[in-house]
Structure 1
Amino acid sequence: MENTPLSPHLQVYRPQLTSVLSITHRATGVVLSLAGTIIMLYWFVAAALGAEAYTQAQVLLSSLFAKVIMFGWTCAFYYHLLNGIRHLLWDTGWGFDLVTAYRTGYLVISGTVVLSLSTWGIVLYLSGG
C-alpha cells in the first residue's frame, strides 16, 4: 500500500484549454448574474428615489472605477455569449474532436477580445472620451 500512486496534485497538474474555458464559462455566468443585477438594481432604485439620487448614481457609474468594472462585465458578457454558442453547437453533435474543440476555444477568446475592445471603442468615441 505504501507505493500506491496518488492522484495528480494541483502543483503538477497542467490545466487544458478546454477545462479552463469550462470553469471560466461557469464563473462568468455567476459574475454576469450578480454584478449585472446589483448594478441594474442600484440604478433603478436611484431613479425611483428622485433626481438627486439618480444624478449621484450617474456620476458614480460614469467614474473610471465603474468603467473598469463595466469593461470587465462586457468581457464576461461576450465570453459567456460566444462560449454559449459553442455549447449550442456541441448540443448538435458538432465540434467534439480535439482539434475543433481547441480551435473554437481560441475563437471564443479572440472573439471576446475583439468584441469587447470594439464595444468600448465605440462607447468612448460616442461619449467623447
Structure 2
Amino acid sequence: MATVVRPRPLSPHLSIWKWRVHMLVSILHRATGSALAFGAVVLFLWWLVAAATGAEAYNIFYGVATGWFGILVGVGLTLVMFQHMMSGIRHLIMDTGAGLEVLASKRLATLTMVASVSLTALTWAVILLTKGV
C-alpha cells in the first residue's frame, strides 16, 4: 500500500504581502520599544559613570550631550518615544474595539506617524528656541 505524500502548506512569506502603513507601525512599535530601552540605559549609564568619575569626565559627557551629536541623538530618541507612545495609544483605542476595520486601522496608523513627527518638531522647536542653542 503506497502512501501519498502531500506537500505541507507553506506560511506566507514577506514577499507575498504588500507593505501597509499599519504593518509598518506595528513593527515600529516593537523596534521603538527596544530602542528606548537600550538608548535610555546607555545614556543613563554614561551620565552616571561620568558624574561618579569626576568633573573632567562629566564635562566630556556634557559637551557631547549638548553638541550637535547629542542634539541629533536627542531628536532621534524623542521621535522614537513619541512614535512608541502614539502607537501605544492606537493599541489602547483598538483594545476598546474601535478602529479594527481596515480603513480605520490605516487612518490610525497614519495618524501615529504624523503625530509623532509633529510632536517631535514641536518639542525640539520649544527646546531650541528657549535655550538659544
Match in the other structure for 2:75? 71
Which deviates further from its counterpart, 98-107 or 74-83? 98-107
Q: Quick one: distance in 2 between partners of 1:100 and 1:14? A: 18
Which digits, 9 at most, give the CA deviation of each residue in 1:91-127, with x for residues without a partner?
Answer: 2222111121111111111101110000110111122
Identity of aligned residues (%): 36
CA RMSD of aligned residues (A): 2.0
Report whether the alignment pairs 1:90 with 2:66. Answer: no
TM-score (structure 1 length as normaliser) = 0.87
Report whether the alignment pairs 1:21 with 2:21. Answer: no
TM-score (structure 2 length as normaliser) = 0.85
Q: Quick one: distance in 2 between partners of 1:118 and 1:67? A: 15
* Letter of the 1:59 counterpart: G
Closer, same or farther: CA 56–76 of 1 in aligned 2, 3 Å: same
CA shift for structure 1 position 12: 5.9
- Residue among 57, 69, 79 paired with 2:61: 57
Report whether the alignment pairs 1:117 with 2:121. Answer: yes
CA shift for structure 1 position 11: 5.0
The 4+ residue runs of structure 1 with deviation greater than 6 A are none
Structure with max Cα Rg: 2
CA shift for structure 1 position 14: 2.1
Q: Quick one: distance in 1 between partners of 2:17 and 2:89? A: 29
Query: What is the correspondence of 1:33-48 to structure 2 with a 5 Å cutoff?
Result: 33-48=37-52
Q: Quick one: distance in 2 between partners of 1:9 and 1:29? A: 25
SS at the partner of 1:96? coil
Match in the other structure for 2:105? 101
Which digits, 9 at most, give the CA deviation of each residue in 1:14-57, with x for residues without a partner?
Answer: 21111111011100011000011101111122112222211111
CA shift for structure 1 position 66: 1.8
* Letter of the 1:42 counterpart: W
Match in the other structure for 2:5? none
